[in-house]
Structures are given as structure tokens and as C-alpha cells.
Amino acid sequence: MKYGFFLPQMGAAAGPDALVRVATRAEELGYDSLWVTERLLCPTSPRTPYAGTADGSLPEAYRIVLDPIEALTYVAARTSRIGLGTSVLVMPYYHPVMLARRLTTLDVLSNGRLRVGIGQGWSEDEMEAAGASLKGRAARADEFIQVLKAIWTTDPVEFSGRFFKVAKSSIQPKPVQKPHPPIYLAAFSPGALKRAATLADGWQPVGLPLEVIKQMLEGFRGMAKQAGRDPAVLRVVMRGNLEISEKPVGGEGRFPFVGSLDEIRSDVEAMRDLGVDELIFDVTLSADGATVEGYLRRMEQLRELA
């Protein structure tokens, strides 16, 4: 199992010095990848409640957010080996032709280190601000992925669909990675999980109880097989939102990656037993995410633990 770590791209620690310090140290420690996320707004009275808090309010860290693609491009210039991933970009906020060009540029400038995690989003406030809609996201997502692949793998490119059209054109350069950078889909609903199994290169789960992960992973692999794909070639990239405590949390209701270091170690082992291909540690929303020193301390500790 490979291991990744989230960059200080969000929250009080976010900034150029913090990005470089964490990125270069992660590469020194032998981590396989660095990751960023996306938040467009931090509404003071969100219309869509945030699932991670009792009152639906958004975490304080969401008040400061560097753009994910620019943040990765910045650290790409200061690293040489480590993978660079998004977890996740929200498809409705982008046009696929424009996004394909930006991501191609990042893959070229990083010499083929890009990993593309994408999802459909959930915030009504963000959708409105981006000129998008919560309705029709599923059909749009299917075409969105098809356009990305068409631009990355064909020349000349031509696409005509319900939502997107590309006149027969040459769009260069192409990504360094062939046939294209890996695409991982965040998916919670059966329809989204099927999309990951049939159109993407893997699934990127987060924030789920262990038993739910097991069930969804079985479904994901079964859907891939039904679609005529080999489940063994599809990657499972698990994002672990960490909340580390001095004392064990215990109990059947404990979520993975919440608790003492011994409990976190057992979660890592459980992911390995499930066949997870890569585990990404994220301390952004924990107390450790408030400072770059907190990032570095946990990054070193978790590397040794894993």
C-alpha cells in the first residue's frame, strides 16, 4: 500500500512557505503523493449543512483556501518525484475543455506526476456562485469525463454531446502520462460508484465507517466486472481525515482515523487488508492543521507508523 499526505493548502497554515516545507519533507520521507482539495466558499449560513459538524456549519479551516491546481503547480517546481493529486476537484465548477488544458499543463510541468480526483460537489451555495446546478449532475459528469479523455488521447479532438461540444481541433500538448493521467472519482451513491467502476481509473472514498467501505468496495469491484473491466487494475485511493487523540476513543461507532495512534495503526492495517492501493493522510481539519509544525510533526509520525 502506498501513502500520501495532504498539503497545507487550506486553513491558518496555508501559504507558500508551508507548501514548500511540507512538500519537500514528504518527498524526503518517501511519501508517494501530495494532495489538495477544493472549497470555493465558506458560507456563514450554509443552505446545505456540512455533514461533519453537529450544527451543519463549515470548519474554520474552510475560511482560507488556496486554489488547488495553482498550489500543486507551485510545489511541482520544488519537488521531483512525488505524485501530485486532487481530492477532489468539483466538476460542475469547471468546463472540461478549460480544465483539461490546465491539468495537461500541470502534468507536463511536473513530468507526468498528476493524479486527478474529481467529484460532483454538494454545496448549494458554491453551485450558485459557480453558475452551476445540483440538478443534472450525473449526466453531465458522464460527458465531462468523456471530454477529458477525448482531449487527452485523440488528435484531432472532436466531441458532440448533450452538454459539451468540441469542434474538430488540434489541442496540444498531450499529457506526459499515457493514455492519460489517472482519474479517481469520489462516490457515495450507487450511481456515482458505478460511474467510477465504468469510466474512471479508480475510486476515492472518504469519511465512511469501515463496514460501509467494505460493502461499497465489493459493489465497486462487482460493477467493474459487470462492465467488462478487470477490477484488479482499478485503484482504491482512500482519504483518511485524521483526528488524533491522546486516549483511545473506542466503541463500535468509532470512525476510521479518529482516535489514538494505536487505533490509527489498526485502521491502516484494516485498509491494507481490504486491498486499498493508497492511503492519504489528511490533518487539515484537526488541531495539527493549524500550523506547519503540526503538519510536519504528524507527517513524520504517521510515516513511521505506516
User: Cell 460508484 sits at which residue?
Assistant: 193
66-85 pLDDT per residue, tens: 999 999 999 999 999 999 99
Contacts of 74 (CB under 8 A, 6+ apart): 16, 19, 20
Q: Going residue by residue through the chain (306 aa), what tens digit of pLDDT does each one get?
A: 999 999 999 999 999 999 999 999 999 999 999 999 999 999 999 999 998 888 999 999 999 999 999 999 999 999 999 999 999 999 999 999 999 999 999 999 999 999 999 999 999 999 999 999 999 899 999 999 999 999 999 999 999 999 999 999 999 999 999 999 999 999 999 999 999 999 999 999 999 999 999 999 999 999 999 999 999 999 999 999 999 999 999 888 899 999 999 999 999 999 999 999 999 999 999 999 999 999 999 999 999 999
Contacts of 204 (CB under 8 A, 6+ apart): 87, 88, 117, 119, 184, 185, 186, 187, 236, 237, 238, 239
What pLDDT score was predicted for residue 52? 85
Are 244 and 261 spatial neighbours (Cβ–Cβ below 8 Å)? yes
Provide the phi-psi class of 297: left if phi over 0, else alpha when psi is between -120 and 50, else beta: alpha
What φ, ψ does residue 40 adopt, rounded to 5°? -90, -40
**Domains defined along the chain, listed by start:** 2-305 (3.20.20.30)
Are 141 and 120 spatial neighbours (Cβ–Cβ below 8 Å)? yes
Which H or E run contains 99?
helix 96-109
Q: Which three cell numbers stand for residue 195?
A: 460511474
What pLDDT score was predicted for residue 226? 96
Whole-prediction pTM: 0.96
What pLDDT score was predicted for residue 163? 96
Q: Under DSSP, is residue 60 helix (H, G, I), strand (E, B) or coil? A: helix
106-122 pLDDT per residue, tens: 999 999 999 999 999 99
CA nearest 287: which of 254, 255, 250, 258? 258
How many helices (H) and strands (E) would you count in the chain?
Answer: 9, 12
Q: Under DSSP, is residue 128 helix (H, G, I), strand (E, B) or coil? A: helix
What pLDDT score was predicted for residue 10? 98
Distance CA 30, CA 95 (A): 35
CA nearest 36: which of 294, 296, 282, 291? 282
